[in-house]
Chain A
């Protein structure tokens, strides 16, 4: 029976290929959709993960950076620096804003840096100045290329013009590009003199960041302090939660599509082999064995399609980076498990579709015609 199943499956290789490709396309769509959310979520925490602070200090009641607003009076920089176990404090100012460049509007995180201090600044230099100076901005290289920006060109942030002084790498995604300016320029733009948004705190050697965060909250009035890992995890979870429902819906749609396609192909195989099945039944092969064979075929198609979808995604990640650098793609283990499980369920449900056909085959037809 296994042999028959295998022969059946490869009896029309082009058809099998088209079926597997179509089902894989449905799974790839789900993986791709989820990959975009994962890629964007990774990029959301890029600033937190790629900079050096062990502890992040922010306004009390704030625990995020993405789509959040935090203001802390600047006298607290010294207060935090005086806490036992703090080696260095790096303040930044931060603003979510649309940026006008090349006649288009882009959404960006704008980070104000202390002059000459790159600890919270661009982590990969991609041309021009490394750090922003007065009246200038460091913009992501992909953003610059897409907007046709060169050194010296102008970008407008919250109504104020900045000259492009340099480019940074690994700082762009569609929803989370990062632009760097000086803290004074951003304070002026935001009319928030005397405040900072976040402080990146370096712990002295041997000091546990979690203990230091608690100590800062205990000693400095009205601030929240989180370890870098905790802060990144909170922002990542926001991004994931924002896309959770739509990812599930796409999984549902893609899964239903894959189920119909798989069901069709096993149904076709059964329909084309009715006479053969009748002979098998006449020879004593039971319905359950034939049905087991269709289930195996469906599982094989589902498994092949899933593997092809994963291969497509592995190919799509570098290809997208090359052809469409604006799109950030990532593949997570969770996405693989979810789509793999969907493939399994889809195959099992699809194999039910031709059951009626299998049961209706009459062994007598083997001796007719």
Chain B
């Protein structure tokens, strides 16, 4: 039996009962969408981690000696580090940055936030509304926090009894399930002195990182090595390396669980497709018996069933992608703290391949029934 004939038979069987076929394709597409959403969640989380550093700009990032991450770590640079870095040939400019973890509370609802403090560079990457926090006492919060707590431009945001005025709402500034907020250094000093935060200001980071612009013609990697060698208590890295370290930490944090969930999803997919093919074979026992009576071998019929499952899976792939895109948009709308990259090419290809593999695997479920199919079935009922 030729492949084209088998595919033709598989196609005809598939469209024999359109309602049932639609239900099967919808179900397989839902499984694929669910896998793509998980894959997109994982890919999006890693992107958020990388973007946090890369969006701060600069050719080189200087941190406390020994600190190799930007997020989820504490880096304190001595105040004199900035002058020391600027004195190095090849440095065109430096931009101070600080990062502080705080908890925002409104009634019984709480959310951790990471406050990014910046001077003339490294602030919000994109604004959804309003403007960056230029004035003293102003703060820009991410859309994720604004959405969750119903905040908008001009509102007051209270942190540790200090009242900030919201100057704008940023877009896509969050990582590790935590939204960011932005303020300038003058506001940070006011916050430290006027709010109920520690009386010992020395304990709080005033300078966490320095974003460094390399002079034209200067190799950033070479500049980073010179800064590390010449500035005491400081370590310079390329932003891309720092970003990769943060992504690596994210993989340690999220990888085991999400990979386990993905494994479970693949299992569900195999079981679901197995169930569909089993039901399809069972409902067509008589016609399959006729085929056996006409001389088709069990192997031919099994190949046809596998082809039918593959046709179903292939038909479900675009619908699954569409459903995943819709779900991702819904999740990002309801909870903008998450980024779901469901159209990531590697995940798409992998899921499409897995869908076909699951179809083949699932189609093997009724194999025993097919092998034992008696041509006499055609004449019973």
> Which A residues lie at the B interface, using CB under 8 A?
12, 14-15, 18-19, 21-22, 25-26, 28-29, 32-33, 36, 59-64, 66-73, 95-98, 100, 104-107, 156, 158-161, 174-175, 190-192, 194-195, 222, 234, 237-238, 241-243, 245-246, 248-249, 253-254, 256-257, 260-261, 263-265, 267-268, 271-272, 320, 324, 326-327, 353, 357
A-B contact pairs, 25 of them (CB 8 A): A15-B278, A15-B282, A22-B275, A25-B272, A28-B264, A32-B260, A32-B261, A60-B160, A66-B112, A69-B102, A69-B204, A71-B198, A96-B101, A98-B72, A105-B249, A156-B66, A174-B253, A222-B199, A241-B110, A246-B41, A253-B30, A256-B30, A257-B34, A260-B23, A272-B282
Pair A15/B177 contact, Cβ less than 8 Å = no
- Top 3 closest pairs, chain A to chain B, by CB: A159-B66, A61-B160, A245-B335
In the assembled complex, the CB of A36 is this many whole angstroms from the nearest CB of chain B, namely 5
A68-B203 contact given A14-B278, A29-B261, A175-B253, CB 8 Å threshold: no
Given the interface contacts A60-B196, A97-B74, A159-B67, does A238 sit within 8 Å of B275 by beta carbon?
Answer: no
Contact check, B112 vs A105: say whether CB atoms are below 8 A apart. no
Query: Which residues of B are in contact with A by a Cβ distance under 8 Å?
Result: 17, 19-20, 23-24, 26-27, 30-31, 33-34, 37, 41, 64-69, 72-76, 100-103, 105, 108-112, 159-161, 177-178, 195-200, 202-204, 235, 245, 248-249, 252-254, 256-257, 260-261, 264-265, 267-268, 271-272, 274-276, 278-279, 282-283, 327, 330-331, 334-335, 337-338, 365
Beyond A106-B252, A238-B112, is A264–B279 a contact (Cβ under 8 Å)?
Answer: yes
B256 and A32 contact, CB distance less than 8 A: no
Smallest distance from the beta carbon of B52 to chain A beta carbons, Å?
A: 13
Q: In the assembly, what is the distance between CA of A71 and CA of B108, in Å?
A: 24
Known: A71-B200, A73-B198, A159-B65. A62 touches B103 (CB 8 A): yes
Whole-angstrom distance between the Cβ of A343 and the nearest chain B Cβ: 15
How far is the CB of B265 from the nearest CB of chain A, in Å? Answer: 6
Chain B residues within 8 Å of A68, by CB: 101-103, 112
- The distance in angstroms between the C-alpha atoms of A26 and B17, with both chains bound, is 26
CB atoms of A15 and B327 under 8 A apart: no
Tell me the bound Cα distance from A265 to B23 in angstroms.
10
Whether B264 and A32, one on each chain, are in contact in the complex, defined by CB atoms closer than 8 angstroms, is: yes
* Central interface residue in B67, B74, B112, by most chain A CB within 10 Å: B74
- Give the chain B neighbours of A160 by CB distance below 8 A: 66
Smallest Cβ-Cβ distance to A12: which chain B residue: B282
- CB-CB under 8 A from A190, the residues of chain B are 74, 76, 203
Please give, as numbers and ranges, the residues of chain A lying within 8 Å of B264 by CB-CB distance: 25, 28-29, 32
- Using CB atoms, name the residue of chain A closest to B276: A264
Q: Given A22-B271, A105-B248, A192–B279 Cβ distance below 8 Å?
A: no
Shortest distance between the CB of A313 and any CB in chain B (Å): 11
Cβ–Cβ < 8 Å partners of A195 in chain B: 198, 200, 203
The CA of A96 and the CA of B67, in the complex, are separated in Å by: 13
Is the pair B283, A238 in contact by a Cβ cutoff of 8 Å?
A: no
Given A190-B74, A257-B30, A265-B279, check contact A61 B101 (CB 8 Å): no
Q: Which residues of B contact A66 (CB under 8 A)?
A: 112
Evaluate contact between B64 and A104: CB separation under 8 angstroms: no
When the two chains form their complex, are residues B31 and A69 in contact, meaning their CB atoms are under 8 A apart? no
Question: Contacts A60-B196, A68-B102 known; A191 to B268 CB distance under 8 Å?
Answer: no
Inter-chain contact B279/A15, CB cutoff 8 Å: yes
Expressed in whole angstroms, the minimum distance between the Cβ of A117 and any Cβ of chain B is 22
Q: Contact between A67 and B103 (Cβ–Cβ < 8 Å)?
A: yes
Q: A246-B335, A326-B256 are in contact. Are A260 and B103 (CB under 8 A)?
A: no
Return chain B residues, CB-CB under 8 Å to A271: 17, 20, 283
